[in-house]
């Protein structure tokens, strides 16, 4: 049955997503430290807008633009929280 195989593939993708999110978090923490050292604000709406625009342009579906924006807006929020905590 394909269902079990598809679920295993989803599990593998989920594992890679967690690895990539943690890799991104490490970089976000480094950026947060640098921003604090330079006296810059953690939140950069312009940068987030640029990222969203680029990602939406790259998106080939089946996720629509709204989904990409919502997913990445949540990612931005969590990483901003991480940077503000300065962990």
Q: Does the pLDDT at position 38 exceed 60? A: yes
For 68, residues 6+ apart whose C-beta sits below 8 A from its C-beta are 52, 55, 56, 59
Tell me what pLDDT residue 87 has. Answer: 52
Where exactly are the structural domains of the chain? 2-85
Supply the mean pLDDT for the chain: 95
Q: What CATH architecture is 2-85?
A: Up-down Bundle (1.20)
**Structure tokens belonging to residue 24:** 């991104």
Backbone Cα Rg of the chain? 16
Tokens describing residue 50: 């640029």
Q: What is the pTM of this model?
A: 0.87
């Amino acid at each position: 049955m394909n269902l079990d195989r598809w679920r295993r593939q989803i599990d593998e993708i989920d594992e890679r997503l967690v690895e990539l999110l943690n890799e991104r978090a490490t970089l976000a923490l480094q950026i947060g430290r640098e921003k604090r050292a330079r006296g810059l604000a953690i939140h950069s709406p312009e940068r987030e807008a640029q990222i969203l625009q680029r990602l939406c342009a790259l998106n080939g579906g089946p996720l629509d633009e709204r989904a990409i924006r919502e997913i990445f807006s949540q990612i931005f929020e969590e990483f901003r929280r991480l940077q503000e905590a300065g962990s």
